[in-house]
């Protein structure tokens, strides 16, 4: 797990990002969620409950909600789990929680993480995938999104961040009868390193 000091500096960096950057991230995220939902032909029948794992800046809270509302064409309930809630200005739908521990709530239709895994050591990555899967309702989906820096350790990966090996993670959780697969595609992003996309995907049967 990364230190509090590193996280504080990460939050400051994200808070300083201009609106154009945030708008591009929003478009990138939406294209990814849309692609996964279309690929799975996923149509939740009941009220959609989404758990988002980590948000680096307050602006992403409403962005995540808007994306899921628009993709599912219905109101959604979003809870964000983050180690820290202060940088998210203690918003009402944020729960301080370490995702390497079992989630405090379950029954989610969707669990979504975007570039979270690089904040975790390889064994913590397995714990997070496991906990996310167990928090799903039957028929729910968990999508963990990673890009080239996490996959290949390219220049954008900070020295304190960890590589992600999706096949190795799938093998590890398969030992616990958690079966997932990978989806690989190009997101719609203006930023080179956000384009190549790998989604570690689980559907709860």
Which residues sit opposite 201 in a β-bridge? 143, 181
Binding-site member from 112, 119, 133, 202 for ligand SAM (CB under 6 A): 119
Other C-beta atoms closer than 10 Å to the C-beta of 19 total 8
Q: Interface with ligand SAM includes 196 (CB under 6 A)? A: no
Stretch that binds ligand SAM, among 31-39, 111-119, 131-139, 174-182 (CB under 6 A): 111-119
Q: Interface with ligand SAM includes 114 (CB under 6 A)? A: yes
- 83/96 Cα distance (integer angstroms): 5
Nearest alpha carbon to residue 186 among 31, 42, 81: 31
Binding-site member from 33, 55, 170, 173 for ligand SAM (CB under 6 A): 55
Residue with the shortest CB distance to ligand SAM: 54
**Size of site (CB under 6 A) for ligand SAM:** 17
Binding-site member from 7, 32, 78, 198 for ligand SAM (CB under 6 A): 7
Nearest alpha carbon to residue 131 among 162, 167, 173: 173
Q: Interface with ligand SAM includes 78 (CB under 6 A)? A: no
Nearest alpha carbon to residue 53 among 107, 122, 123, 129: 129
Q: Interface with ligand SAM includes 27 (CB under 6 A)? A: no
Instruction: Report the half-sphere exposure of 148 (CA within 13 A, side-chain side).
Output: 12
Residue ranges in contact with ligand SAM by CB under 6 A: 1, 7, 54-56, 81-84, 98-100, 114-116, 119-120
């Amino acid at each position: 797990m990364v230190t509090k000091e590193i996280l504080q500096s990460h939050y400051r960096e994200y808070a300083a990002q201009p609106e154009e950057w945030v708008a591009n991230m929003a478009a990138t995220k939406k294209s990814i969620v849309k692609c996964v939902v279309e690929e799975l032909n996923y149509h939740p029948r009941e009220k959609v409950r989404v758990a988002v794992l980590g948000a680096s800046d307050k602006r992403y809270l409403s962005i995540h909600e808007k994306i899921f509302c628009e993709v599912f064409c219905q109101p959604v309930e979003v809870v964000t789990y983050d180690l820290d809630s202060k940088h998210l200005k203690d918003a009402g739908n944020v729960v301080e929680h370490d995702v390497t521990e079992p989630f405090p709530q379950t029954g989610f239709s969707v669990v979504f993480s975007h570039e979270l895994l690089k904040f975790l050591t390889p064994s913590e990555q397995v714990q997070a995938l496991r906990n996310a899967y167990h928090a799903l309702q039957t028929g729910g989906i968990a999508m963990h999104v990673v890009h080239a820096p996490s996959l290949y350790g390219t220049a954008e990966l900070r020295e304190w961040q960890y590589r992600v090996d999706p096949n190795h993670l799938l093998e590890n959780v398969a030992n616990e009868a958690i079966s997932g697969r990978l989806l690989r595609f190009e997101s719609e992003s203006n930023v080179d390193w956000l384009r190549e996309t790998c989604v570690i995907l689980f559907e709860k049967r």
